[in-house]
Amino acid sequence: MDTIRFISQSMEQVQLRLVVTCEGLSKEQVLWRPMPRANNIGFILWHMGRADDARVTSLSADQKDLWEADGWYQRFDQTVDSPDL
């Protein structure tokens, strides 16, 4: 198996497992924090998505991440240059 295929399959598996694990969570569950300064599930998922976006972008000739190119920053009510990682 070549490196690109291995990385692609690994990322697909993580995504599938996250979707199944988070399916059916209420908004309250997604935003719940075990401690006041801890991250909630929603933030962790957002962070993972942005990190994957940065990894894929770094391998792309286009060098424009989906956060900006597909307008995801607007969907999250953020600025295009808001902190990502």
Residue-range domain boundaries for the chain: 25-85
The reported pTM is 0.66
State the Cα–Cα distance between residues 17 and 24, nearest whole angstrom: 13
Name, in order, each residue with C-beta under 8 angstroms of 57's C-beta and a sequence gap of 6 or more: 63, 64, 65, 66
- pLDDT band for position 83 (50/70/90)? low
pLDDT value of position 85: 45
Tens-digit pLDDT profile for residues 3-44: 888 988 988 898 899 889 999 999 999 999 999 999 999 888
Percent of the chain as helix, strand, coil, to the nearest 5 = 60, 0, 40
- Can you give the pLDDT at residue 33? 94
